[in-house]
């Protein structure tokens, strides 16, 4: 399977003069904007068509979405709260993709991580403060890694394609979570199947109460910085990038291919697990059916859109977070089903991986290829 590879060299170059660095960053930012802008534009166009067909004014709706996402401090807080889970999953996806490993299993890690944190968190009533958070989070990390371990081992040791195995493990994890909740952790007196709420001292505190954005966001940002430092400044991160962009070269150079494959897949699971834990302890405070609104898949879209660039990941996560946050409340003001958000997100995801060229150029190239091959 082909994996998109980063086109820009991102290695530390100590001897580079400042002006060159600035220029290079500008060039990179320009390229990223061009690559990422087009899918977003197409998505807006598709959304506009859907809106027009159903008699809505796209300009009005998009305007309303922007104001619902960023209009007031409390709306910004809501946007940041919605940004948090997908920032985690985007980092997880980017982490693996950098090594050329194409996992779609972050969703499963997120779910099982969330359940584990919620269950452990509900038992933390008598546990002293830092431990009462650390224990459920530790459990979440382990659970997230657990979901990834089989695909990781199969890929690293026997070259079994990770895409389908990780996809399957999403469903296995979801089923497992459903069974665990139904059989062991069902809260009494709840309409839908969910666990007990976590103990108060296990909650990740809100950053600016009553807003919902929690310390989880800080953890995610710290993780993003760690991701950036890891890829840029560590030997293993270097090997990630080398293997992701030039696998045969990396084998011939004796880089640690197997280690990288294992760490990439497991790491994505662990990060997904942290995300699920933070979501459970920071926002919803329990695990219930529909715990993850496809956050794992949204993370994939963001990682691809950002071409694995940390700044791009942050911007992408805020963009999607804004859509989610605005979508949840905009229907209070205009008669707009929230599903329009899914249309926009899915379209971005599709066109983040599609190659869009000017049709004429394409035909010309195809003609030349035909001429060359018969």
Contact 204, 214 (CB under 8 A): yes
Question: Helix axis angle, 235-245 relative to 73-98, nearest 10°?
Answer: 70
- The distance of closest approach from Cβ of residue 157 to other proteins in the complex, given in angstroms and rounded to an integer, is 8
- The distance of closest approach from Cβ of residue 187 to other proteins in the complex, given in angstroms and rounded to an integer, is 17
User: At which residue do the structure tokens 């989880």 appear?
Assistant: 216
| b (16+ CB within 10 A) / e for 55-68 | ebebeebbebbeeb
**Alpha carbon 176 to chain centroid, angstroms:** 22
Q: Which is nearer to other proteins, 183 or 192 (CB)?
A: 183
- The distance of closest approach from Cβ of residue 39 to other proteins in the complex, given in angstroms and rounded to an integer, is 10
User: At which residue do the structure tokens 């972050």 appear?
Assistant: 106
Q: Which is nearer to other proteins, 59 or 129 (CB)?
A: 59
User: At which residue do the structure tokens 């309303």 appear?
Assistant: 64
- Judged by DSSP in three states, 194 sits in strand
Q: Which is nearer to other proteins, 292 or 345 (CB)?
A: 345
- The distance of closest approach from Cβ of residue 313 to other proteins in the complex, given in angstroms and rounded to an integer, is 16
Q: Which is nearer to other proteins, 72 or 335 (CB)?
A: 335
Q: Which is nearer to other proteins, 47 or 275 (CB)?
A: 47
Query: 270, 239, 236, 273: which is closest to 253 by C-alpha?
Result: 239
- Judged by DSSP in three states, 55 sits in coil
- Judged by DSSP in three states, 255 sits in coil
**Alpha carbon 210 to chain centroid, angstroms:** 26
The CA distance from 141 to 207, in Å, is 23
- The distance of closest approach from Cβ of residue 227 to other proteins in the complex, given in angstroms and rounded to an integer, is 15
Q: How far is CA 157 from CA 149, 262, 326, 351, in A?
A: 12, 9, 45, 33
Q: Which is nearer to other proteins, 284 or 342 (CB)?
A: 342
- The distance of closest approach from Cβ of residue 135 to other proteins in the complex, given in angstroms and rounded to an integer, is 26
- The distance of closest approach from Cβ of residue 301 to other proteins in the complex, given in angstroms and rounded to an integer, is 7
Q: Which is nearer to other proteins, 151 or 216 (CB)?
A: 151
């Amino acid at each position: 399977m082909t994996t998109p590879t980063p086109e820009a060299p991102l290695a530390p170059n100590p001897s580079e003069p400042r002006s060159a660095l600035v220029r290079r960053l500008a060039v990179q930012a320009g390229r990223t904007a061009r690559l990422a802008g087009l899918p977003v534009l197409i998505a807006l166009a598709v959304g506009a068509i859907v809106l027009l067909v159903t008699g809505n004014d796209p300009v009005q709706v998009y305007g309303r979405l922007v104001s619902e996402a960023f209009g007031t401090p409390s709306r910004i807080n809501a946007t940041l709260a919605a940004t948090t889970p997908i920032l985690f999953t985007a980092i997880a996806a980017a982490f693996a993709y950098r090594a050329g490993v194409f996992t779609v299993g972050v969703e499963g890690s997120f779910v099982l991580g969330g359940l584990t944190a919620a269950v452990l968190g509900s038992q933390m009533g008598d546990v002293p403060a830092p431990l009462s958070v650390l224990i459920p989070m530790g459990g979440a990390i382990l659970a997230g890694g657990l979901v990834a371990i089989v695909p990781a081992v199969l890929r690293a040791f026997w070259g079994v394609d990770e895409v389908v195995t990780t996809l399957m493990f999403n469903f296995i994890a979801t089923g497992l979570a459903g069974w665990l909740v139904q059989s062991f952790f069902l809260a009494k007196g709840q309409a839908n199947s969910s666990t007990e709420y976590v103990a108060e001292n296990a909650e990740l505190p809100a950053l600016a109460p009553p807003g919902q954005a929690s310390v989880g966001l800080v953890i995610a940002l710290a993780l993003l910085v760690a991701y950036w430092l890891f890829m840029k400044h560590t030997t293993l991160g270097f090997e990630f990038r080398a293997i992701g962009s030039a696998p045969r070269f990396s084998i011939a150079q004796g880089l640690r291919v197997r280690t990288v494959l294992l760490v990439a897949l497991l790491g994505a699971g662990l990060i997904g697990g942290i995300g699920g834990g933070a979501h459970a302890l920071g926002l919803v405070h329990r695990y219930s059916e529909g715990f993850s609104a496809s956050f794992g898949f949204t993370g994939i879209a963001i990682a691809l859109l950002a071409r694995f660039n940390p700044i791009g990941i942050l911007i992408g996560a805020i963009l999607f977070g804004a859509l989610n946050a605005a979508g949840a409340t905009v229907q209070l003001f205009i008669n707009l089903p929230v599903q329009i958000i899914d249309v926009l997100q899915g379209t971005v995801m599709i066109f983040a991986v599609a190659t869009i060229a000017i049709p004429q150029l394409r035909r010309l190239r195809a003609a030349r290829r035909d001429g060359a091959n018969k």
